[in-house]
């Protein structure tokens, strides 16, 4: 995305840009009517399924499509089946899944805090989630129990103008790649976006505020916070004083929003509301970047554990952090690194046996055969003597010293790993802090060094383009 050019090559008036975006992003009455009709059918199907249960329950539609704050073209319907707060978890799951499968006979089960049914109906993506019907958000039995409270809070406060501004905000966040609270994206959730628009009084006031944020930034709509939070953006949940709605938001996505808020106000253009669809980088393109950069790329490639994304990505990031620390500790100076998952899976394709990679570019890929190891100053008698004596009788011809350099004892000893390949293929590479299930897959890893990483373009081409052609 070019930061300084609109589709027409120059900036437009902000009001004109927002008017055009609003025309295409806010759903037309026909789209709203179609969604209401389908949601009504699903609610009726759910009520019929509930009637066959030995317990009482009700069903409510929640989320952006319930509040009229979805971006045109989104096809999500979220239904929550509320059971008595005293119902035990096992029964909640049993009855909730029974309703879900009755409403969506071709649906499949996914897992958040507990299982729910996901499927499609009349072209819409439907989540049917069981929860407890608790008195207040402070009485939660599980995290999903708070969602109906979110819906009630916003529905009572968002008028039509604010709802349209929420749609603008969501379109903007989608356009800059910062929308979505899944743990792969770590962006702005729909609920967070709606609270910010409500709190600031519209989309334009929100971006005007964001351009001057100095993290940490905190908003507390109800003035009832009971906790302190160590996050770049804090929005205290108006239904739960102990929760930061922005907890998932990464520092990078908070900064990305601020960057593009400034861009929008300085040079308004519709392209900021249009998500990029980058073309996959091919092997020749990867090699061209490598030739120009003169770094050494490395990749550790393995079968991704068969987990949903919200479980997989935290493990991949933890593993990447561990590998980066290990590379740096052995002198291979990481310039930049990224976890990658097969492009098909990353774009919502099939789960299962797909490939993952921990990818890094190194400033140094080969080190001398010896490394310097400093001891304490000679004046520190006890520790200095211990260091000196531990090496004085060393007959290893690869060890030089001990000798005095400045005020310290020093030895130069054989380096454990002189090449990055030797390190990454060793057991030591698996001794870093890897994600628990990544660690098992890591044992069957392939290690690619240098130009060999170009072969990854067939699997990770889109992510490689994002890596080698980064933008804010």
Q: How far apart are the two ends of the chain, measured CA to CA in Å?
A: 9
Helix, strand, coil percentages for the chain (3-state, nearest 5):
45, 20, 35
Q: What is the largest CA-CA distance in the chain?
A: 87
Tell me what pLDDT residue 345 has: 64
Sign of the Cα pseudo-torsion (120, 123, 129, 130, in order):
negative
Per-residue pLDDT at 2: 44
Token couple for 117? 């049914």
Between CA 26 and CA 37 the distance in angstroms is 18
> Following DSSP, what letter does each residue of 337-365 receive, concatenated?
EEEEE-HHHHTT---SS-EEEEEEEES-S
Can you say whether residue 60 is alpha, beta or left, with left for phi > 0 and alpha for psi between -120 and 50 degrees?
A: beta
Tokens of 207: 């971006």
Question: Are 76 and 63 spatial neighbours (Cβ–Cβ below 8 Å)?
Answer: yes
Instruction: Answer yes or no: are the C-beta atoms of 282 and 216 closer than 8 Å.
Output: no
The answer to whether residues 120 and 126 touch, using CB atoms and an 8 Å cutoff, is yes
Q: Give the strand order in the sheet containing 124-133.
A: 57-62, 76-84, 124-133, 115-121, 108-111
pLDDT at residue 398, as a whole number:
80
Q: How many CB atoms lie within 10 A of CB 323?
A: 26
Q: Is the sign of the CA dihedral 405, 410, 413, 418 positive or negative?
A: negative
Enter the tokens of residue 6. 């609109």
CA distances from 289 to 190, 430, 438, 447 (A): 37, 29, 29, 20
**pLDDT tens, the chain, 472 aa long:** 444 444 444 457 999 999 999 999 999 999 999 999 999 999 999 999 999 999 999 999 999 999 999 999 999 999 999 999 999 999 999 999 999 999 999 999 988 778 999 999 999 999 999 999 988 777 777 888 899 999 999 999 999 999 999 999 999 999 999 999 999 999 999 999 999 999 999 999 999 999 999 999 999 999 999 999 999 999 999 999 999 999 999 999 999 999 999 999 999 999 999 998 899 999 999 999 999 999 999 999 999 998 888 899 999 999 999 999 999 999 999 999 999 999 776 554 444 468 999 999 999 999 999 999 999 999 999 999 999 998 887 777 788 989 999 999 999 999 999 999 999 999 999 888 898 899 999 999 999 999 999 999 999 999 999 999 999 8
Residue the block writes with tokens 């554990």: 305
* Residues contacting residue 117 through CB under 8 Å, at least 6 positions apart: 96, 97, 99, 100, 101, 103, 104, 107, 108, 109, 110, 127, 128
Contact 309, 344 (CB under 8 A): no
Phi/psi of residue 93, nearest 5 degrees: -65, -45
3-state secondary structure at position 194:
helix
Tokens 């990224």 belong to residue:
338
Model pLDDT, residue 350? 45
Decide if 98 contacts 53 (C-beta within 8 A): yes
What tokens were used for 389? 């004596």
What are the angstrom distances between the C-alpha of 116 and each of 3, 42, 314, 397, 446? 41, 15, 22, 65, 36
Beta strands 115-121 and 124-133 are antiparallel
């Amino acid at each position: 995305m070019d930061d300084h050019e609109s589709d027409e090559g120059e900036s437009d008036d902000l009001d004109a840009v927002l008017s055009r975006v609003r025309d295409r992003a806010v759903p037309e009455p026909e789209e709203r009517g179609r969604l209401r009709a389908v949601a009504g059918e699903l609610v009726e199907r759910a009520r019929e399924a509930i009637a066959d249960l030995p317990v009482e329950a009700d069903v409510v539609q929640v989320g952006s499509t319930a509040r009229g704050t979805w971006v045109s073209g989104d096809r999500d319907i979220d239904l929550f089946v509320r059971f008595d707060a005293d119902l035990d978890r096992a029964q909640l799951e049993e009855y909730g899944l029974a309703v879900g499968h009755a409403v969506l006979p071709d649906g499949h089960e996914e897992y958040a805090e507990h299982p729910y049914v996901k499927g499609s109906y009349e072209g819409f993506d439907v989540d049917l989630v069981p929860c407890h019907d608790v008195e207040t958000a402070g009485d939660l039995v599980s995290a999903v129990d708070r969602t109906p409270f979110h819906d009630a809070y916003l529905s009572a406060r968002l008028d039509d103008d604010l709802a349209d501004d929420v749609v603008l905000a969501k379109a903007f966040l989608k356009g800059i790649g910062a929308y979505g609270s899944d743990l792969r994206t770590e962006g702005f959730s729909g609920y967070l976006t709606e609270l910010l628009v409500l709190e600031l009084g519209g989309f334009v006031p929100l971006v005007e505020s964001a351009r001057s944020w100095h993290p940490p930034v905190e908003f507390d709509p109800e003035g009832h916070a009971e906790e302190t939070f160590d996050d770049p953006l804090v929005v205290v949940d108006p239904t739960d004083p102990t929760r930061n709605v922005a907890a998932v938001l990464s520092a990078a996505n908070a900064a990305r929003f601020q960057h593009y808020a400034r861009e929008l106000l300085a040079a308004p253009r519709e392209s900021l509301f249009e998500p990029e669809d980058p073309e996959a980088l091919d092997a020749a393109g990867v090699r061209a970047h490598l030739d120009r950069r003169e770094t050494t790329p490395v990749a550790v490639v393995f079968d991704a554990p068969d987990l949903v994304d919200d479980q997989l990505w935290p493990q991949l990031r933890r593993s990447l952090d561990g590998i980066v620390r290990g590379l740096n500790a052995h002198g291979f100076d990481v310039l930049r690194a990224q976890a990658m998952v097969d492009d098909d899976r990353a774009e919502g394709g099939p789960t299962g046996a797909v490939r993952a990679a921990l990818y890094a570019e190194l400033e140094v890929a080969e080190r001398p055969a010896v490394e310097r190891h400093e001891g304490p100053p000679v004046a520190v008698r006890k520790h200095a003597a211990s260091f000196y004596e531990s090496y004085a009788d060393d007959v290893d011809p690869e060890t030089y010293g001990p000798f005095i350099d400045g005020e310290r004892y020093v030895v130069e000893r054989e380096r454990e790993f002189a090449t990055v390949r030797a390190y990454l293929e060793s057991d030591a590479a698996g001794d870093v802090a890897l994600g628990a299930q990544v660690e098992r897959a890591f044992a069957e890893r392939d290690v690619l060094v240098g130009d060999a990483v170009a072969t990854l373009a067939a699997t990770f081409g889109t992510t490689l383009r994002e890596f080698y052609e980064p933008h804010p």
